[in-house]
Amino acid sequence: MTDHSTLSGTPDRNWWRGAVIYQIYPRSYQDTNGDGVGDLRGILMRLPYIASLGVDAIWISPFFKSPMKDFGYDVSDYRDIDPMFGSLDDFDLLIAEAHGLGIKVMIDLVLSHTADVHPWFVESRSSRDNAKADWYVWADPKPDGTPPNNWLSIFGGSAWQWDTRRMQYYLHNFLHEQPDLNFHHPEVQEALLDVTRFWLERGVDGYRLDTINFYFHSQGLEDNPPLPPEQRNDQTAPSVNPYNFQDHLYDKSRPENLAFLKRFRALLDEYPAAAAVGEVGDSQRGLEVVAAYTSGGDKVHMCYAFDFLAPDV
C-alpha cells in the first residue's frame, strides 16, 4: 500500500494545521471518456496543475457506488467506485500520482446513513429478526398509525418513512432513500470503522466526514421542543422548511457521539499522517459542537460549521 510518510521520510501528523485543501466534485471536474460526467482519471490528469497551485491536499466528494438520489451521498457500496467515476484501479493510480506530487488525498465519508438499496438495509428491512434488523433506526407507529415522534427531515416532511415489510417506520434525516444507521448498535460501529480502515489501507490521508453530528439519535425518541420564532434561522434548512421551527435536542448532536469519535480518532492515529474534518450541521449550537468534537486531541482534527455564513455573526 501507499507509504504514509512525507517526502522527507518523516511522518508529519500536523500537516493539516494551516493546510490548503482543494475540494474536487468529480462529476463536474474533468470527463475523460466522453460520457459527460467527470471521473477519477480526469482528476488524475489535472493533478500536476493542482500541484502547481501549492495546495497541500485534495478532498474528493463522494465517488462510491450509489443510485445517485443525493449525488453520491447515498452510498450503496462503501468499498467500491461507482462505474460513472471509474474503478478502484483508477483510484490507486490517483493516490500514487498525488503522493508523488506531494499532495495528500482526503475523501468524503458518509457514515450517518446509506442508500436504501445498500445490502445492509435490504437485509434490515426484510424482517424484524434478521442479523441486521437493528442496524437502522426502526420504530413502531403511535396507536393511531402516525410516526413515533415529531422529528423532521432536513429535505422536508417527516423524518420517518413507513415500511410495509416490517410494518414499522425507519428514520431518515435526509431523503427517504437515505435511511439512518443505528450507531447505538456495536456491530454498526465496527462495520463503519472497517470501512474507514479499508480506505486508509488503500492510501488515503484522511476524511471529510459528512453530517458528523447526525450519527446518534436519542433512544428515547422524545419529541423535539419548539424553537421560539426569534431564534429560528435558515442556516441548516431553507427558511420555508419547518425543520427550523424545532430545537433539535434529540435527533442530532447527541453526547453519545463523543465516544464514537474517540474510537474513530484512535483508528486514524494508527496511520502516521491521517486527519479528518467534520461537517457540523447545527445552526443552534454549531460552534459548541465544533469545540466539543475537536477538543482534547482525541476526537477529530478539524470541524466546520455554517455560522460564519450568516449575516449576523
The string of pLDDT tens digits covering residues 185-205 is: 999 999 999 999 999 999 999
Catalytic residues, which ones? Answer: 210, 270
Per-residue pLDDT tens digits for 97-155: 999 999 999 999 999 999 999 999 999 999 999 999 999 999 999 999 999 999 999 99
Is 138 part of any domain? Answer: no
Counted domains in the chain:
1
Is 175 part of any domain? Answer: no
- Which backbone phi and psi does 295 adopt, to 5 degrees? -80, 155
Is 45 part of any domain? Answer: yes
Residue whose C-alpha cell is 474507514: 196
Is 275 part of any domain? Answer: yes
pLDDT at 229: 86
Per-residue pLDDT tens digits for 42-79: 999 999 999 999 999 999 999 999 999 999 999 999 99
Angstrom distance (rounded) from CA 176 to CA 181 = 13
pLDDT at 233: 74
Q: Inform me whether the pLDDT recorded for 6 exceeds 80.
A: no
Mean pLDDT of the chain: 94
Question: Among 167, 157, 74, 54, which residue's Cα sits nearest to residue 120?
Answer: 74
Query: Region 254-283: what's the mean pLDDT?
Result: 96
Mean pLDDT lowest for which of 33-37, 144-148, 289-293, 307-311? 307-311
The set of residues, in sequence order, having a beta carbon less than 8 Å from that of 255 and lying 6+ positions away, is none
Angstrom distance (rounded) from CA 81 to CA 127 = 29
Is 181 part of any domain? Answer: no
- pLDDT higher at 312 or 189: 189
Kindly state the cell numbers that stand for 210: 459528512
pTM for this predicted structure = 0.94
pLDDT at 9: 62
- pLDDT higher at 309 or 92: 92
Is 249 part of any domain? Answer: no
Per-residue pLDDT tens digits for 14-44: 999 999 999 999 999 999 999 999 999 999 9
Is 174 part of any domain? Answer: no
- First-last CA distance in the chain: 45
**In terms of residue numbers, what domain contains 272?**
21-114+188-220+257-309
Is 161 part of any domain? Answer: no
4 pLDDT band (50/70/90 cuts)?
A: very low
Which domain CATH number covers 41?
3.20.20.80
